[in-house]
Amino acid sequence: MIYIAADHRGFRLKEEIKKLLETELYEFRDLGAFEYDRNDDYPDFAIKIGEKITQENARGILICGSGAGASIAANKVKGIRAGLCTSVKQAASARSDDNINLLCLSADWVSLDDNQKITDTFLKTLFSSEERHLRRINQIKDYETKKR
């Protein structure tokens, strides 16, 4: 299952990425926004998709204007490894090395064509499971569960 969400600045791109998911026959669920609302806030969508991904051990795509705000907010959810990707090579590396489970996209600074290619790469790239990458991800998990 692939979850997808966006705020108002990412709304149009989300609708285009959904077409790609349909064409490639991915099972996905749209978590909003369901209509353009210039007053909505990306943290609402970031937290909602982050919680869904961690509950179901799924992956997702989150879109806002820059991609940065969505990434920051989503990474506050325990278990989320959100990465803002602006190139295909970055998306491949983020999946292979960092095992991101939430792709964040920039609707304002990256073209539709490039965002589609980035999404396709995110969905098709597997985590390498190399020891050094596992070690680093486990360091993050240890910090998340550490009592402070």
Domain boundaries, the chain: 2-145
User: Mean pLDDT throughout 111-128?
Assistant: 97
What local confidence, expressed as pLDDT, does residue 107 receive?
98
Q: Say if strands 59-64 and 2-6 run parallel, antiparallel, or are unpaired.
A: parallel
Does residue 142 surpass a pLDDT of 80?
Answer: yes
Peptide bond into 33 cis (omega under 30): yes
**Cβ-contact 5, 32 below 8 angstroms:** yes
Please give the model's pTM, rounded to 2 decimal places: 0.96
Query: What CATH fold (topology level) applies to the domain 2-145?
Result: Ribose 5-phosphate Isomerase B; Chain: A, (3.40.1400)
Rounded to whole angstroms, how far apart are CA atoms 99 and 83?
9
Q: Does residue 58 sit in helix, strand or coil?
A: coil
Does residue 146 surpass a pLDDT of 90?
Answer: no
